[in-house]
Amino acid sequence: MRQRGFTLVEVMVVLVIVGLLLSMVNLNFSDRAAQQETEQFAQKLDVAFNRYREEAVFQNLDLGVAWIPGEFNLVGFYDLRQKSVAEGLTEEELSRLSENPWTPIDAALAQSMSIPETIDIRILVNDEELDPPEEPDENGAIPALIFLSSDEYIPFVVELTHPDDESFVIRLIGDGIGPVRRRMERLDV
C-alpha cells in the first residue's frame, strides 16, 4: 500500500483558508472590544449621573456636569444671594463666583471622569445638540448637564459611539424626573 502526502498546492490552499478564518475572528474580536469599551464607559456614566442626581437632593445643592475636552467634571452651584454661601469668601472668590457660580465641589463623589480617546460623544439637551467642548476660560467650566436639589434635571441624551465599530450607539437618556436609563441600539451599517 502506497502512502500519498499532500501537495504543496493543497497545503497552500489550507493555509489561505485558515488565514482568512483567523482574520475574520480577529475583526470580530476588535469589534467586540470596541463595543465592550463603550459599554463599560456608558455604565460608569450611568452610575455617576444617577449618583449625582441623588447627591443633589441629599446635599440640597444643585450639581452640574461640565463637559470639557477629554473629561467630565462635577461642579456645584453657589448662589451668592444666600448669606451662608458668601460668608468667609475672599473678594477674589466672590468676584469669580459672580462671573460663574459653578465651581468644583468637595464631595465624596468622583470629581472628574476621563473620557477615553477612542469614544465619540454627542450630547443633546432639550433636543438641541451641544457644541463639542472647548477649554474653559479663567472663570471655569459651565455645566452641560444640571441636576437640581429638587430631584429634577434638564432632560438630556448622551450618545456614545466608537469609530472602530459603527454598528451600535449607546444612549444615556435622562427624562428630567426619573433615573437615567442606558440603552444600546444596533445601527444598519
Tell me, what's the pLDDT at 28? 54
Q: What is the mean pLDDT of residues 16-44?
A: 79
Q: Which residues contact 106 (CB under 8 A, 6 or more apart)?
A: none
Q: Lowest-confidence range among 22-26, 56-60, 120-124, 169-173?
A: 22-26
Among the listed residues 86, 65, 85, 83, the one whose alpha carbon sits nearest the alpha carbon of residue 74: 65
Handedness of CA 44, 47, 53, 59 (dihedral sign): negative
Q: What is the CATH number of domain 33-186?
A: 3.55.40.10
Q: Is the pLDDT of residue 128 over 60?
A: yes
- Domain residue ranges in the chain: 33-186
Q: Find out whether 70 and 115 touch, Cβ atoms under 8 Å.
A: yes
Whole-number Å distance between alpha carbons of 124 and 171: 11
Tell me, what's the pLDDT at 29? 53
* Alpha helix segments (H runs only) across the chain: 8-59, 83-86, 91-99
For 182, the 3-state DSSP assignment is strand
Tell me, what's the pLDDT at 13? 85
Longest dimension (CA), the chain: 103
Among the listed residues 52, 156, 65, the one whose alpha carbon sits nearest the alpha carbon of residue 102: 65
Q: Which band of pLDDT confidence, cut at 50, 70 and 90, is reported for residue 181?
A: very high
- For the stretch 43-98, pLDDT in tens is 999 999 999 999 999 988 899 999 989 999 899 898 877 777 677 777 887 777 78
Q: What is the mean pLDDT of residues 4-21?
A: 81
Tell me, what's the pLDDT at 46? 94
Tell me, what's the pLDDT at 169? 95
- Alpha carbon 61 to its chain's center: 22
For 92, the 3-state DSSP assignment is helix
Q: What is the mean pLDDT of residues 103-122?
A: 84
Q: Find out whether 70 and 141 touch, Cβ atoms under 8 Å.
A: no
Percentage of the chain beyond pLDDT 90 is 44
Tell me, what's the pLDDT at 123? 96
